[in-house]
Structure 1
Amino acid sequence: MLMEGSIIARAASDAQDRLLEADEPLAGLQERCGGQLPGTIAVPELLELVRKARRYGFRLARAVTAHDGGEVVTAWVEVEPQELGDGCQIVVRNWQTAPAPVEDTASAERRRTMIDRHVAELSAQLDPEQRVLSVTSEGAELVAVTEAMQTGFGRHWTEFLAPEKMTQQQPLHWRLLDGARVIVPGSRRSWKVALIPHMRPGFDPAGFELLLVSDTPSTGTVLAHEPIEPLLRRSLVGHDLAPVLRQPLSRIIANAETIRTRLAGPLPDAYAEYAGEIAGAGKLLLGLLEDLADLEVVETEGFSTAPDRVDLSELARQAAGILNVRAQEKGIVIEAPHPAEALPAVAEYRRVMQILLNLIGNAIRYSPENSQIWLRLEALGDRARIIVADQGPGLSLEEQGKIFDKFERLGRSGDGGSGLGLYISRSLARAMGGDLAVESAPGQGARFILDLPADAES
């Protein structure tokens, strides 16, 4: 039975968790949250409480929080399930309101970015000059433009996604292009781009994340075969599983992040933490899937890279810019080569970037907070060298001897790694005629050394 005492409002729901009737102020809250009477309960926390009470047949009571657009409402709600699962009686015993906090500009921008990432159908990493470094997409509708961008790394993104109604000479400042409508070849849908800068305090952006978003839903099918990326046929994982699993995993991560950041409305801290754990697990699975796909590529008989002339100094700055936000979350400073430095090498641009992102990402993961990571360049005759050094826990001689082994994690667990990143990175380095090594000592950090053929003609 429901407790006796001061009652502010009563309500009733049916077996489909629709609110059949409700007293004020609950009825008004239902409507301000976008619901109707009768209609599905529109207050997320109240809906969850009613569903649990009905399904399990138990009386439940707890505080419920809702955001109606202008105020934050907190109420104590008791829910009593009816016999045979025919719905619930709802009693509200306490009702408090407070003005909704005014969202500052930075919070609004973070919210917009999270929404764009959630609905984006193509994402790309750009360098400081807005040239394409990498690209991934979902759906058959974007195959052609994605393939064009993948074969055109180093070119400005507007060469592939032309802005509408812009007569100014390219390239434009990124702020003028953020939010611009663009033309996607072969698509009749309306599209826009969001440009998210990788900021460094006191400096211009070190790069950008480009998100392609449509405000009209897709009517096409998701590409579930023939992957866009590989030049070689990947077998079971890369060719058959990765394209099928990548999209649902990405959606799980995006939805969990939306819940964690409370984009859908107020949520107790415990549930936000659960959503964060789901997002973390999804990212781990997605990373493992990508690692397994890359593993199949590097172990394919006859695998080779596509060498080109690259500047390791520029690549190092771009990789540092891409990972700078993650480093800042731990108070870590990445010291990249000065823009005046240059170190020409002969290697495949995309593969060198992949190696550097892995090495810098590992350094961020295992370095203490408020530490530093250094990217250093050395010219050694016919070799061009880049060093990634950190202030992490360091490695013993035994650990150094096996750190490049396949699936080797040095006994670490729960760190989000697959044990494949360094194995793949060394395999790629050797496929480009170079090598990847480590120098370290316990308590003295680690230095990962990437050697590549120098560009003798530069």
Structure 2
Amino acid sequence: MASVAGNGETVTGRIDSSGRLVAADLMLSDLQREAGSGIGDRLALPQLAAVARLARKLGVGIARPAVVAARDHDLELWVRAEPDGDDVVLTIESWRRRPPQGARLEIAARSEDVLPTPKGEWATDAELRLTDLSPDLATMLGTSIGEAIGQPLTKWLRLIEGVDGAMPLLNAVAARTAFTGQVASGRGGQSQRLLISGSPVAGVDGLFDGFRGRAAAENARPPDAANEAGNAGMSIDPALDHALRSPLARIIEAAEGIADRADGPLRSDYATYAGDISAAAKHLLSVIRAMVDQPPEGDSAIDLSPLVDEAIGLVQSKAESRSIVMQREGVESLPAVGEPRAIVQILVNLLGNAVRHSPDGSQITVSLATGNDYASVTVADQGSGIDAADQERIFGKFERVGQGGGDAGLGLAIARRLANSMAGDVTLVSEPGRGARFTLSLPVG
């Protein structure tokens, strides 16, 4: 078990240009050893390695919170990284032990190299010099992260007085308190007005050490609510909608970072698992978008063939667990017009339904065909089929046939609506005892 120093001390380490931990105090060296590495080897704690990489990339000192997993507990840390020649010096200024958490992917991967900084975030030191800036906010301010870090916040933001003549940010600096409602505009030629909010940050000595806050366009809409007018029939709770999107985006970024071996060598089967995690999370994110009636991102000329392969890959393991064979046939390339993520979502739903209602050891056939005006993908199973009286009903919201479970009866309704939004359709041909054939049709352009 890693030893934990007491508050009031600091723990330091040095990372060379190759990412190796070349020197470390006892606590850090113990954590490195528990992670399966040692002094002189690559830093095996991705949370700290990410902070060091960012400091090296920006060429300035930065400070970040981090959570590191020890053998039987977690450590909440405040980490500073300072470039020192070709090396980076890490200083852990505060820490707190806590019970291990079950889901740590978001915290473990939080860095510019693995995850995007949450939108609109900024942080300063006690002198209001920027120590952190999200990429989207840097763009809004007409600067870059590297150019802005270390510069006064007011170099990039022009504070605007409220109707009462007050400036909430300046009042908060004087009182060392949180603030909201500070109106500002970028000094880099941008006309967009922003609303700034923030909270004070305490240093290891308990004294005021700056602010951390958020910025958003003054006229920005709140996050899309799933139950706004017109969405009630296909809705999820707006708080749940907002809560799900951010962690899913982080899971995707983290999984892609793992698959790309961003933190060093990795067994190829683990990299493949990470790719599967990313693909599944992207599909779930597209489902959430569809359930809040977000329109597709824009139709374009696409090839349906690789999208069919991606959808098959997402349900392949479920089919294999029941010895169901998925057979693809037809043309190798299938041009059409549509939005790729929406198409994959439709196909995953059709394939998932086919697997769910197919007997063990049967076959599902995926056929690609083209005509004069439409391209089509047909998913045919060898299940029990669907009565004529049910064939239109199952495209309604919350309608299902049988006890198959799965999507609460929303999948086919969403699939048809998405297809209609791309000037296409999802149709069904079936009869009891002879399986079902669902066909996605899209215009060829």
Superposition TM-score, scaled by structure 2 size: 0.40
Higher RCO, Cα 8 Å, sep 6+: 1
Superposition TM-score, scaled by structure 1 size: 0.39
